[in-house]
Amino acid sequence: MSYQSFKIGQTLVLKITSDSGYSFPFLMGHDAVIVDSPNVDFVRSTVYAIRRHHQPEVYLKPIFIQRYSSKSPAVLGMLIDGFVDGSVDEDQLQLKTNDIFVRSLDLTSKVPAGQYGIVMKKALDLMYTRQTKVIEPVLDPYSIIGYAYPTVSMSFEPHEETEVLAALDWAEFNGYIWPDFVEKIYLCNQCSAGLLLFREVCPHCSSSNTYGEDLIHHFPCAYIGPISDFQKADTDALSCPKCNKSLHHVGVDYDKPAVLNHCNSCDSRFQDIFVKAKCMHCSHDTDVQYLQARNISAYKLTKKGRLAITEGLSDLDEKPHLALEEIQDEKTFEILLHFDFIHANSQPDWQHVLNGLSIGNINEFSAHFGGFKKQSLIRELADIIKGEMTLKDFVTINNQGHFIWTKRYSNEVVIDGEKSEPVSKLIQKLISENYNSFKMDLKQVVINYNECKSSGELMKDMRKKLNRE
């Protein structure tokens, strides 16, 4: 391998071609990179490899592409710093490289804590050094949702765009960015992919082998029938099959009140046609009403986001990434439980229990359906649990994804034997209805307050059991 490095003024440039190859340590010693290849795939994979690298000295490197075609690729264009034509515009390359370097000196090495901290850090670093103000969605046929956010998407595999949305939700929830509505799109309710085939289908047999005709209402004789009943072989004029009069003006002697559909497959006739969407990713076919709606926004940096770039943030600012109202953080939960436990002693008419729910294979679930789907599942679970609670009960979700909540019953209810379905059953039902055949490994734990001496002991027991020790 022969690496081609050369100097433009004081700027040391590495030229990468399909033949030269490159190594990251070698690349790190250069100020800028020119990728020079007519092979678009090679250019693309090189740019991604550099931008995906974990070290700022690599992922922030100024990249220029030798131009071979007049079209500039939208997504790639947002990840590079410019094109060079025939001869390199030396001043421009030097200026830009220097500018990026100077700005990179402001960056903090602190990474925001949390699941997507590193992903957002890279995106924000790139924005800061390139002085872009907005994380903008770009239409991208290679993206599984149809849109890409290049500076965020680059951290994921091409089929992981739903994770990109989860990362942006996380950053929004944590106050680094704020959204500006661009568009509402619909995603597959099984895998969150956005490439869908829409078809009009028969409501009886789901075949798309259908055709529609106008229904005609002839005023003088009140006959209603499909337009084909009014058509004659030898003329374009319409005449009524019942009274034989010719039809003249729509709205005057007849109108078209509706469309009548026929199915060639099962031969049924119907007025309302169904619209189904078939997912090109998982082939699930669903009624459009069940698709999940998702806002696609452009994101701007908040003050906190700008600070995170240059100053970093202390972990104290971090909130859990789920925007679940009424869910206590674990510390608050324990304080509430402490007082509830003491209070329970003076309420002999009530039974108090602590509930816990763990999902053993939540990671398998997200591998199956995507992280975006995992968050919506957790929201749905929280709703089921909240539906079970009284106004005095409270719930938390800890960082292992375990739900813990209190529940109280009056003794009369217990004696009457009126017991509601356990939450785990309701959840199993939700899963089998909405997530096909996925087998959720659920464990529900119930501990009565009077089995323990203190709220501390209660929580300890609960954690042990949820961790399946």
From the list 121, 166, 148, 134, the residue with the least C-alpha distance to 323 is 166
* Residue nearer to Zn ion on the CB measure, 207 or 398: 207
Q: Is 357 near Zn ion (CB under 5 A)? A: no
* Residue nearer to Zn ion on the CB measure, 134 or 243: 243
* Residue nearer to Zn ion on the CB measure, 108 or 268: 268
* Residue nearer to Zn ion on the CB measure, 80 or 187: 187
Polymer length of the chain: 469
The residue from 32, 124, 240, 313 that contacts Zn ion (CB under 5 A) is: 240
Place of tokens 């790639």: 76
Tell which positions 182-211 bind Zn ion, by CB under 5 A.
188, 190-191, 193, 202, 204-205, 207
Q: How far is the CB of 241 from Zn ion (least distance, A)?
A: 8
Q: How far is the CB of 155 from Zn ion (least distance, A)?
A: 22
Q: How far is the CB of 101 from Zn ion (least distance, A)?
A: 44
- Residue 298 has φ and ψ, to the nearest 5°, of -95, 145
* Residue nearer to Zn ion on the CB measure, 282 or 298: 282
Tell which positions 278-337 bind Zn ion, by CB under 5 A.
279, 281-282, 284
Tell which positions 258-277 bind Zn ion, by CB under 5 A.
263, 265-266
Q: How far is the CB of 177 from Zn ion (least distance, A)?
A: 27
CB atoms within 10 A of CB 54: 9
Stretch of residues binding Zn ion (CB under 5 A), selected from 63-71, 222-230, 295-303, 444-452: 222-230
Give dist(CA 241, CA 246) in Å, integer. 9
Stretch of residues binding Zn ion (CB under 5 A), selected from 36-44, 59-67, 234-242, 321-329: 234-242
Place of tokens 């729910």: 357
Q: How far is the CB of 144 from Zn ion (least distance, A)?
A: 9
Which residues contribute to the site for Zn ion (CB under 5 A)?
188, 190-191, 193, 202, 204-205, 207, 218, 221, 223, 240, 242-243, 263, 265-266, 279, 281-282, 284
